[in-house]
Copies of this chain bind each other. A is one copy, B any other.
Amino acid sequence: MDNLAYDQILLDHGSGGKLSHALTRDLVLPHLSNDLLDQLDDGAVFDLKGGRLAFSTDSYTVDPLFFPGGDIGELAINGTVNDLAMCGAKPLYLSLALIIEEGFPTADLERILASVRESANAAGVKVVTGDTKVVPKGAVDRIFINTAGIGLVDTGVSVGGHLARPGDRIILSGSIADHGITVMTQREGLAASDALASDTASLNHMVADMLASSKNIHVLRDPTRGGLGTTLNEIAQQSRVGMRIGEAKILVRPEVAGVCELLGFDPLYLANEGKLIALVAPEDAPEVLAAMHRDPAGQEAAIIGEVVAQPPGRVILETAIGGERIVDMLTGEQLPRIC
C-alpha cells in the first residue's frame, strides 16, 4: 500500500493526481468502502423514493482533534446525522470533505477515518461521496471536516422551529454542557475530573422512536453551539412564543457544574453534541418521554418547562432558589472551535 510509504500527508496527496488516488484507495476506501463510494465518480448517484427530503451541512473545526468521549471524525458524522434527525428525517446518505494541512500525521488521519466509519455504522448512514484537499503548512490548523447529509421525512411528520405552541412541554434528553466543558478543559490543559467526557452521539434512532410514539412533536432541535439557552431563544423567536423553564429540572453533572463554577461558565450556553430538545403537545409528552427513556441517549430525559404565549421571544428561568431571570441568547464567544 502506497500510504505506508508516508507517515505524513503531503501536498501531493491533494494534487488530484497519483498520490491523491493512492490516498483515496489506500486510506479512505479501506475504512469507508461501499458500492456507491467505490465508484469514484464526481458524485454519488442512487435511487430514492420520492417524498420529503431533508438536506443539511456542517463544518467541524474542533480543537483538540481527539478528546475524552470522541474525536472530530465522530463529531462530523453525529453532528450532521443529528441535524437531519432534528428535521424529522431518517438520515441516509452523507458526504465527507476533508481539508488537511500538509504534514498531518497519516496515523491520525487513519484514526479519524476509523472513527467516521464506526459512527456512520452506529447511525446507520452511508458516506457515499467525498473530497480531499491538502493545503500548505499554516493554511489550516491540522484538519477540518465538512459533512453534508440527505434524509427522508416520513409522511405526516412536520417539525420545525416555527411550530412551537403555548402549552407545549419542553423535553430535554439529558445533562447539558458535557461536550463544551470537556473540549475546553482538554484544550486549555486544565486539570479536570477524569469523569468529564463529550456526550457526542447520534440521536436519529431515538428520534425515530419518538416520532413513532406521537404525531404532536412540534419542534426538535439539538443545542450545540450556543447551548440550551441560545437554542431555546431561537425557537421562541421563530415561533413567537415565550418559554418558562425550571433550573432545578435541568441536569448538569456535578463534575461539569464544578468546572463551570470555578471558571465562570454558564452551562446554559455550553455546547452539547448528543442532546436534543423536543417541544411536544402536553397530552403526548408522557409517550414521548417513555420512548426517550427506552433509548440509551434518552435515559435521563425530563420535562424542563413549557411554552407560554407571553411575552413572545422571551425565555424565563425559574431559579433553584425561587427567583426568575431572563435567559438571553449567547452574547460574545465563550469557546471558539468547540465543534
- Interfacial residues, chain A to chain B (CB-CB below 8 A): 10-12, 14-21, 39-59, 61, 63, 82-84, 86-89, 93, 95-99, 128-131, 133-136, 138-141, 144, 146, 148-151, 153, 160-162, 221-222, 224-227, 230, 234, 238, 269, 271, 328-334, 336-337
Give the distance in Å from the alpha carbon of A271 to the alpha carbon of B87 in the complex.
38
A37 CB → nearest B CB, Å: 11
A87 neighbours in B (Cβ, 8 Å): 41-45
Cβ–Cβ contact B54 & A17, under 8 A: no
Copies in the complex: 2
A11 neighbours in B (Cβ, 8 Å): 333, 336
- A47 (CB) vs chain B CBs: closest residue: B52
Given that A153-B45, A330-B17 are known contacts, is A57 also in contact with B148, CB under 8 Å in the complex?
A: yes
Give the distance in Å from the alpha carbon of A98 to the alpha carbon of B51 in the complex.
29
Give the distance in Å from the alpha carbon of A50 to the alpha carbon of B97 in the complex.
26
Cβ–Cβ contact B224 & A16, under 8 A: yes
A49 neighbours in B (Cβ, 8 Å): 50
Give the distance in Å from the alpha carbon of A144 to the alpha carbon of B101 in the complex.
13
A93 CB → nearest B CB, Å: 6
User: Would you mind naming 24 contact pairs between A and B with Cβ atoms under 8 Å apart?
Assistant: A12-B332, A15-B226, A15-B333, A16-B226, A17-B230, A17-B331, A40-B161, A42-B56, A42-B86, A45-B88, A45-B89, A46-B52, A48-B50, A48-B51, A50-B51, A55-B93, A55-B128, A56-B95, A57-B146, A135-B141, A136-B336, A138-B141, A140-B144, A148-B148
Cβ–Cβ contact A330 & B161, under 8 A: no
Given A41-B86, A46-B52, A61-B133, 19 more pairs with CB closer than 8 A? A11-B333, A16-B230, A16-B330, A18-B329, A20-B225, A41-B87, A42-B84, A48-B52, A49-B50, A50-B50, A57-B96, A57-B97, A57-B146, A57-B148, A58-B131, A63-B139, A95-B148, A144-B144, A148-B148
